[in-house]
Structures are given as C-alpha cells and as structure tokens.
Amino acid sequence: MLKPTILAITLLVASVFAEDTRITYKLAKGQTVDEFCTAWSNECYKYVPKVQPGSEVGEYCEGGPKKGQVQAYCNAYAVTLYGSAVAKILHDKPA
C-alpha cells in the first residue's frame, strides 16, 4: 500500500501542466545556432520589459530538429494577484 505522502506527490507530479511554446525558425545563410540564439536572447531580454514591465523573462533557444533550423521561445511571466479584490467583494479583512 502506498503511503499517503507518496500518493500525494505522485498525483501532484501527474497534474503538472506543461506547454511547449517553442517555434522552429530557419537560420539565415551562414548563420550558426549560437549566433541566432545569442541575438534571440539579447532581443528577448530587451523586448519583454518594454511590453510587460515588471514581468520575468523566460527564453530558450536550441538547435532545431533539422539542419539549418533552431527552436526558440520568448515569454513573459507575470503573477497577477486578485486576493485583495476578492476579499473586498466578500467584505473580508486580513487577520
């Protein structure tokens, strides 16, 4: 019989949601994966704070599934807290 802790951990791991947001791009003639990925990373870290200030930047870049390709993503991670708004609606106050 599984212990409750092991069962809980197993269920938690099984319920983790993952989404692959990588997009495959074609390298320019003569461009290396490292060159593309360096430029990608630099631009991502400049762009995201402009459009979503205060968010965390998440970027990744790697060689693609075929020669001459790369896979990359550039995301913004921001947490929006709604607890105070819900508490106000319910007329609740922090302890």
Q: Which of 34, 37, 29 is nearest to 74 (CA)?
A: 37
Residue 36 has a pLDDT of 97
For 14-48, the pLDDT digits (tens) are: 455 567 889 999 999 999 999 999 999 999 999 99
Q: Which of 51, 58, 49, 46 is nearest to 22 (CA)?
A: 58
Rounded mean pLDDT, 53-58? 92
Rounded mean pLDDT, 74-80? 89
Burial (CB < 10 A; 0-12, 13-18, 19+), residue 1, is exposed
Indicate whether 25 belongs to any domain: yes
Indicate whether 5 belongs to any domain: no
Residue 80 has a pLDDT of 82
How many domains does one find in the chain? 1
- The whole model's pTM is what? 0.67
Indicate whether 8 belongs to any domain: no
Indicate whether 66 belongs to any domain: yes
Indicate whether 7 belongs to any domain: no
Residue 18 has a pLDDT of 65
Q: Which of 91, 37, 39 is nearest to 61 (CA)?
A: 37
Indicate whether 65 belongs to any domain: yes
User: Domain range for residue 77?
Assistant: 19-89
Indicate whether 71 belongs to any domain: yes
User: Whole-angstrom Cα distance, residue 95 to residue 93?
Assistant: 6
Indicate whether 28 belongs to any domain: yes
